[in-house]
């Protein structure tokens, strides 16, 4: 197949093309590795360097083009994208990353008279863009008329089916990891690499350190734990959306390069996944869940949505969302009797096989 994949350029503080990061990079790459010809078209919302480059992906081919907004602020993107896609002549168009890109992808697929598949890595209705007049309506229209939709969680797939009644097949396709990227590592060596206390008990989390994601619940739980645990530390890495409390045993490592995250998780006694019961949280599936599971370390996560379903047979790994006392209690249990869940972890190659089946199915759809 010839697959056009449209997404935004900046994703979770990373540049999709330059950093080759996560879902928006791995989906096109893995499809190319399965023998397809893929054009990844990245549109930036802020000034950055334009790119046009081929990435290794035998036996297929993978070309990335990164457009920049220029002096028109991106108003030329639709016609630039249409010109590039006409030259590429795709069999199917995949739209991803936010409501505006999905609306644009629907327009492009219609102009090209090609099937449209939409990928949702979050509930985009919870993003600020859908507050712009008309965007939510056009976004839902795109979902309703798409020939296939892949969602980051079963909960989101169910939500899309019930609210939009899409004509095409809807599947769950969680974000995950590459084989061998995350694995058990020597804890002492990982702590030494990151400059962490060698013999302390470390709990921590990485990612968006923001009140909207529930980080305040972790702070409150940590303060409770310090009352009876003089050797416990809270270690944090990621983008800060709210001030980090000043405490001698709260260690902030900044925004670590992604290739340092395996060492970060392996340095911990317990990893924490904070989620709140919001329009964003209840439909999410944090990629770090599989990262932590692959490292085979204990974790405690909010009992919400697909994470709650994944860990349903490990009750000591789940806490009630926004309940700092329950979180502190579950951390204590895991410190006293560590029980890392033994669950299978899919790879990006596994997920690409599912996405490929969805794309193939759309080729036989009637228009």
The per-residue pLDDT string of the chain (367 residues; one tens digit each, 9 = 90 and over) reads 999 999 999 988 899 999 999 999 999 999 999 999 999 999 999 999 999 999 999 999 999 999 999 888 889 999 999 999 999 999 999 999 999 999 999 999 999 999 999 999 999 999 988 889 999 999 999 999 999 999 999 999 999 999 999 999 999 999 999 989 999 999 999 999 999 999 999 999 999 999 999 999 999 999 999 999 999 999 999 999 889 999 999 999 999 999 999 999 999 999 999 999 999 999 999 999 999 999 999 999 999 999 999 999 999 999 999 999 999 999 999 999 999 999 999 999 999 999 999 999 999 865 5
Ramachandran area for residue 183 (φ above 0: left; ψ -120 to 50: alpha; else beta): beta
Estimate the share of the chain in helix, then strand, then coil, as percent rounded to the nearest 5: 45, 20, 35
pTM above threshold 0.85: yes
Neighbours of 111 (CB within 10 A): 14
**Topology of 2-176+348-363 in CATH?**
Rossmann fold (3.40.50)
Q: Report helix, strand or coil for 75.
A: coil
- Does the domain at residues 187-336 carry the CATH identifier 3.90.226.10? no
Show the tokens assigned to 8.
């935004």
Q: Which two tokens stand for residue 242?
A: 């709210």
Residues 6+ apart with CB under 8 A from 256: 206, 237, 238, 264
| CB atoms inside a 10 Å sphere around CB 52 | 11
Backbone angles phi, psi at 92, to 5 degrees: -150, 150
Residue ranges, CATH 3.40.50.2000, the chain: 2-176+348-363, 187-336
How far is Cα 226 from Cα 232, in angstroms, rounded to an integer?
A: 7
């Amino acid at each position: 197949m010839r697959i056009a994949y449209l997404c935004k350029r900046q994703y979770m503080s990373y540049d999709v093309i330059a950093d080759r990061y996560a879902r928006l990079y791995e989906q096109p790459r893995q499809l190319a590795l399965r023998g397809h010809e893929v054009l990844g078209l990245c549109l930036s919302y802020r000034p950055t360097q334009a790119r046009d480059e081929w990435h290794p992906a035998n036996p297929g081919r993978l070309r990335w083009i990164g457009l920049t907004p220029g002096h028109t602020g991106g108003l030329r993107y639709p016609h630039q994208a249409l010109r590039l896609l006409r030259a590429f002549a795709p069999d199917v168009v995949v739209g991803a990353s936010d409501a505006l890109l999905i609306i644009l992808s629907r327009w492009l697929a219609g102009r090209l008279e090609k099937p449209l598949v939409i990928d949702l890595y979050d509930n985009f209705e919870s993003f600020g863009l859908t507050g712009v007049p008309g965007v939510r309506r056009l976004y839902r229209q795109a979902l309703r008329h798409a020939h296939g939709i892949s969602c980051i969680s079963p909960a989101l797939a169910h939500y899309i089916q019930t609210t939009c009644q899409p004509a095409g097949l809807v599947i769950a396709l969680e974000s995950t990891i590459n084989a061998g990227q995350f694995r058990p590592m020597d804890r002492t060596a990982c702590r030494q690499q990151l400059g962490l206390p060698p013999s302390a008990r470390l709990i921590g989390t990485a990612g968006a350190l923001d009140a909207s994601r529930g980080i305040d619940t972790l702070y409150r739980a940590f303060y409770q734990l310090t009352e009876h645990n003089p050797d416990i530390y809270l270690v944090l890495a990621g983008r800060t959306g709210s001030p980090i409390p000043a405490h001698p045993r709260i260690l902030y490592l900044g925004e670590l390069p992604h290739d340092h995250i395996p060492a970060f998780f392996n340095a911990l006694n317990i990893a924490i996944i904070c989620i709140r019961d919001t329009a964003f949280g209840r439909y999410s599936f944090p990629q770090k869940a599989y990262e932590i599971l692959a490292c085979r370390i204990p974790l405690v996560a909010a009992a919400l949505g697909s994470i709650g379903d994944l860990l349903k047979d490990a009750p000591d790994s789940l806490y009630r969302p926004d309940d700092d006392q329950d979180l502190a209690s579950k951390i204590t249990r895991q410190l006293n009797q560590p029980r890392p869940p033994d669950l299978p972890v899919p790879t990006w190659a596994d997920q690409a096989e599912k996405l490929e089946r969805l794309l193939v199915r759309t080729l036989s759809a009637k228009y």
